[in-house]
Amino acid sequence: MKKFKRRLSLTLRGSQTIDESLSELAEQMTIEENSSKDNEPIVKNGRPPTSHSMHSFLHQYTGSFKKPPLRRPHSVIGGSLGSFMAMPRNGSRLDIVHENLKMGSDGESDQASGTSSDEVQSPTGVCLRNRIHRRISIEDLNKRLSLPADIRIPDGYLEKLQINSPPFDQPMSRRSRRASLSEIGFGKMETYIKLEKLGEGTYATVYKGRSKLTENLVALKEIRLEHEEGAPCTAIREVSLLKDLKHANIVTLHDIVHTDKSLTLVFEYLDKDLKQYMDDCGNIMSMHNVKLFLYQILRGLAYCHRRKVLHRDLKPQNLLINEKGELKLADFGLARAKSVPTKTYSNEVVTLWYRPPDVLLGSSEYSTQIDMWGVGCIFFEMASGRPLFPGSTVEDELHLIFRLLGTPSQENWPGVSSNDEFKNYNFPKYKPQPLINHAPRLDSEGIELITKFLQYESKKRVSAEEAMKHVYFRSLGPRIHALPESVSIFSLKEIQLQKDPGFRNSSYPETAQ
């Protein structure tokens, strides 16, 4: 011990910080420890104390003093050493605080229980912190699963769980967390009942279902794996993005069930998509409802774009609506996380009717603006009751665009004249037509906004964030812009759906127009 104190005093030089000095001393002692063993630990009640060798203590202690200090048994530190290290030296005071170190599997340290059996005598007054025993609760489950506010574990089941659940003295590891949720029923197909088939796609079938655990309706997207080596990349993409996207206008992924034959994604259930909504009201929507739906589309997209996520497949079928009128972006199978604006992607994305002209002409270098052209097309479709550019082929689609907006030139679309695809088609010179002639129900502010979406040059298209601030949305009031991301716009009493002029066979809430 004298030898150690002498070394420590020599190491604590004025030119070094305490952290640097202790680190240097720990390295010196590491070399010597290879040739000698630590003293046998003192056994109390048949159990060895939670002690460490001196060099490991120093390694763990030498870090930022901003971190919580570590507690160590008195048998390891030693009274004389603790007193020595607590003495002021070079204007600094080094206090040794005894604290047992507990580590979760995630590598994060956690404070130990204040009811430790080891008797700790500190050279300075230390107030030990008590750790509250944790049980599995509704708050824990919601945090672990990122469940929305309307998903709750039944009270009876939770009471039963509380009785059978032991308190946790330390943080749950990821493996333990998965195991505990599996016991409750998450991650198991038998937890969900299939009620009816909603649709079938190239690689997936969607069912309406019910959770036995929460009794809530869910949408089960069953992805077939028979002819795939592992999950399709579209499914992996969708899962990886949705688990990090938590917003009131983005569909919530509740659970994932993986079997040998399928991968099932469990989503929140919404009654219909925008296409079905427009069909139900005879394609004649209230212009107030058009404004509410457009704002929610922009709100969800702005959240995605802030996180550098492109949806890349916007269309009415991928916009889901519940009975309150809440609209949510869905089907992120083609979505990508964008790290660099000029990164090259596939140009075989976005349904043809909602595909921007730069992508139609073969461009694979695009950013968040790819989604904004589709927003303009959907805006027009809601306001007029018909698709804006319903082309059957790429050439037909371009013809429809150029007939309405005019054939692009070097002036309004720099670089288009040198595009090989554009030159090969040899389009006639169309003149632009007034949009008001095709969407007479839109006011001047609406026409101005849709024009900002439908720009040939992608960088000139208005962003989702900027579009939300457009004067077109002024009638919705200022409070709608200050809502937290996870809160629906319908939480404001002044925001309500209005009755659509066309026939609508639904139970949606209606107010007088």
Domain-wise residue ranges, the chain: 2-111, 138-184, 190-268, 272-491
Q: Is the pLDDT of residue 385 over 80?
A: yes
What tokens appear for 396 in the block? 């037909």
Phi, psi for 461 (deg, rounded to 5): -70, 140
Task: Give pLDDT tens digits for 54-111.
Answer: 444 444 444 444 444 445 444 444 444 444 444 444 444 444 444 444 443 343 434 4
Q: What is the pLDDT of residue 11?
A: 55
Phi, psi for 190 (deg, rounded to 5): -70, -10
Q: What is the pLDDT of residue 27?
A: 59
**Does the domain spanning 190-268 belong to CATH 3.40.50.80?**
no
- The residue ranking higher by pLDDT, 79 or 438, is 438
- The residue ranking higher by pLDDT, 273 or 126, is 273
Q: Tally helices (H) and strands (E) across the chain.
A: 17, 12
- The residue ranking higher by pLDDT, 172 or 311, is 311
Residues in the chain: 513
Q: What is the pLDDT of residue 137?
A: 52
Cβ–Cβ under 8 Å, residues 197 and 205: yes
Of all residues in the chain, the percent with pLDDT exceeding 70 is: 56
Q: What is the pLDDT of residue 112?
A: 40
Question: Could you give the residue ranges of the DSSP H alpha helices within 212-285?
Answer: 233-242, 274-280
The average confidence (pLDDT) of the chain is 73
Residues assigned a catalytic role: 313
Q: Is the pLDDT of residue 144 over 90?
A: no
Bridge partners (DSSP) of residue 200 are: 205
Q: What is the pLDDT of residue 465?
A: 97
Tell me which residue of 92, 94, 166, 159 sits closest to 123, measured CA to CA.
94
What tokens appear for 287 in the block? 């212009």
Which contiguous run of DSSP H or E holds residue 459? none
What tokens appear for 65 in the block? 């003093």
Q: What is the pLDDT of residue 28?
A: 63
Q: What is the pLDDT of residue 364?
A: 79
Residue 76 CB neighbours (<10 A): 20
Q: What is the pLDDT of residue 171?
A: 54
Cα(249)–Cα(245) distance, integer angstroms: 10
Q: Is the pLDDT of residue 163 over 60?
A: no
Cβ–Cβ under 8 Å, residues 113 and 130: yes
What tokens appear for 350 in the block? 């976005």
Q: Is residue 102 a known part of a binding site?
A: no
Matching residue, tokens 């909603």 = 198
Architecture of domain 272-491: Orthogonal Bundle (1.10)
Please give the angle made by the CA atoms of 398, 278 and 466, to the nearest 5 degrees.
65
3-state secondary structure of 17: coil
